[in-house]
Amino acid sequence: PFQVVGGKVKKPGKRGRKPAKIDLKAKLERSRQSARECRARKKLRYQYLEELVSSRERAICALREELEMYKQWCMAMDQGKIPSEIKALLTGEEQGKALQNSTKLAKAAKTEANSSNP
């Protein structure tokens, strides 16, 4: 029943070291703890996903309201009416352009005055 391999005597049977007798209670407790941690991770993952979904739903609602507002503006402009919000935007842009032009003129005047002085 013994084999001689490379000068060593081998016994038939399983290879490697025999596992130490694992305490069954400890093994069960580790398994329970692992299951608790798994459930906790799962719960956190679902909470995160639910928050993500609700924030995306809020963003969708806001975008739908904005789209509806733009549709109303377009319908009003098709009827020849200019919504007050667009008027405010346009007058604000015109005021901004006027300010830009006045500063450009002032800078041009300064450079002219500096170049004419010897």
In a domain, residue 75? The reply is yes
In a domain, residue 42? The reply is yes
* Counted domains in the chain: 1
In a domain, residue 16? The reply is no
In a domain, residue 112? The reply is no
Q: Determine the structural domain holding residue 37 and report its residue range.
A: 24-92
Q: pLDDT tens digit string along 66-84?
A: 999 999 999 999 999 888 8
pTM beyond cutoff 0.75: no
In a domain, residue 70? The reply is yes
Contacts of 94 (CB under 8 A, 6+ apart): none
What is the C-alpha separation between 43 and 49, in angstroms, rounded? Answer: 10
Q: pLDDT tens digit string along 10-65?
A: 666 666 666 666 688 899 999 999 999 999 999 999 999 999 999 999 999 999 99
In a domain, residue 31? The reply is yes
Q: Which two tokens stand for residue 23?
A: 């305490």
- Contacts within 8 Å (CB) and 24+ apart, 61-66: none
DSSP character at residue 5: E
In a domain, residue 64? The reply is yes
What is the C-alpha separation between 87 and 47, in angstroms, rounded? Answer: 45
Of 87-91, 94-98, 105-109, 111-115, minimum mean pLDDT range: 111-115
Contacts of 3 (CB under 8 A, 6+ apart): 9, 10, 12
